[in-house]
Chains A and B, each alone.
Chain A
Amino acid sequence: MIGIDTNLRKDLEIDSLDALMIMNDIDDEFGISIDEDDFKTVNSPREIIALLKSKYGIDEP
């Protein structure tokens, strides 16, 4: 079960290709292209949302 604070790397053990698949899905769903280096700094869905708000100007719905 994935929660808002699930650590993608430690709990789900995603690798760089998994990360790429998540970034691509975010791009498909919301039209936001996250930089690979930025994505390396976040570990959980909560942190991804924080990144989108702080760096990509996305407001929470």
Chain B
Amino acid sequence: MSLKDKFRFQFEEEDALVNRLGFNPYYQSLASGADLYVRITGKDYLNLASNNYLALARHPEVIDAMKEALDVYGASMCGTPVACGKVDIYQEAVQSITRLLGMEDGVLYPSCYQANMAVVGTLVKAEDLVLVDRNAHSSLIEGIRASGCKIRPFRHNDMEHLEELVKKTPGYRNRFVVTESVFSTEGSIAPFDAIYRLALERDLVPMIDDSHGIGVIGRTGRGILEEKNISGYAGIYTASTGKALGVAGGFVCGSYQAVEYIRYASSGLLYSTAIPPSLIAGTLKALEIVARDGSRMVAALAQNKAYLYSGLLEQGFQLLPSEANICSLLAGSTEATFRISKALFERGILTTPFIYPSVAKNQGVIRMIPRVDLNEARMDHLINSFVQIRAQNPELFN
């Protein structure tokens, strides 16, 4: 086998399908940002693929703040924060985050994937146990695996199973319970109030990734802690600033002691070039907008989600149950998923198809994020497009 062909076999089936359909839904080349309409090969597409829930990636206040930071601080810090220093707005951003969440301290990472990997790898040791939701994000699973600890996955959002495992597993140095707030393939929300109660009762360390929750859930957009009425949260909290907050990067919050330890022990932080100042400035501004306009934006998101979700259900489409701001239509096989995605694309709509192994085999879904700047006319166009595609290709919707 030539060097060129060595890894080709891994995606042979999908490759053949892409070639046959003449359509690859992944890595689209955009001549625009993550706006409501994206430009692809000279044509505009309604964008339901992006996690730009609040349209903050194009918010003039966010863009101005980032431009100003570029002028003041330049493009990059060209080194790690521990060795080369952190910009003054770094601490401002941390304070803004901790104030929003009601937590003690925090640290910023270049991405949330990195934050999750690093924080789990730093806090969890080989002699510990991690109880983790079976559907938790790859970054959490990878971090847990890298720690060499004992892992006990619990069934997705299943409190009974989690409680059973907690009873069965005494005797570890530390026991962690790790989950996400919003599971982004379909939009289920973790019963984190119950998980947190259990953690307090049974001396577990709770850890939650709120990447698809911050800015989106909770009455004013403050995420899972607000959604579940948790105040004075004493566990570990991570989130991305590259989804609803519209920028890029990630952060970890926790107690003063936990964060101080992470600051000096997390290799993902100590050996990574610091998050660029412009991203910190953008995050600060996005947090300010959420603190100011969160209630209004969350209400608008919920309204759009309800309109699209109920509109598709009324037309008889099969949707995955979703509590958060995500609509996922069950498409089935990889071929059906790709073909529906292609048919939508031909009608000027960009969605995200999830196929195996992101989802179970033959459980492919078309995921849509009903963002804040959608309107009823556009959602009607989307619903009507699905109806037309089904009329022309009924075999895709069995």
Interface residues of A (CB under 8 A from B): 13, 15, 17-18, 20-21, 24, 28
Find A17's partner among B153, B360, B361 (CB 8 Å cutoff): B153
B134's nearest neighbour on chain A, judged by CB, is A17
B interface residue numbers (CB < 8 A to A): 134, 141, 151-153, 168, 356-357, 360-361
Instruction: Indicate if the CB atoms of A15 and B153 lie closer than 8 Å.
Output: no
Contact call A17/B357, Cβ cutoff below 8 A: no
**C-alpha gap A17/B141 in the complex (Å):** 9
- B141 proximity list for chain A (CB < 8 A): 17
B153 touching A13, Cβ below 8 Å: no
CB contacts (< 8 Å) of B134 on chain A: these are 17-18, 21
Q: Which residues of B contact A28 (CB under 8 A)?
A: 168
Q: Report the 3 A-B pairs with minimum CB-CB distance, sorted nearest first.
A: A17-B153, A13-B361, A21-B153
Q: Is the CB of B152 within 8 A of A24?
A: yes
| Cα-based distance from A21 to B357 in the complex (angstroms) | 18
Known: A21-B134, A28-B168. A13 touches B360 (CB 8 A): yes
Nearest A residue to B161, CB-CB: A21
Contact A20 B361 (CB under 8 A): no
Instruction: Write out the residue numbers on chain A whose beta carbons fall within 8 Å of the beta carbon of B153.
Output: 17, 20-21, 24
State A28–B356 Cα separation when bound (angstroms). 30
CA distance A20 to B141 in the complex (A): 12
A51 and B134 alpha carbons, distance in the complex (Å): 26
Give the shortest distance, in Å, between A34 (CB) and chain B (any CB): 13
A60 shortest CB reach to chain B, Å: 25
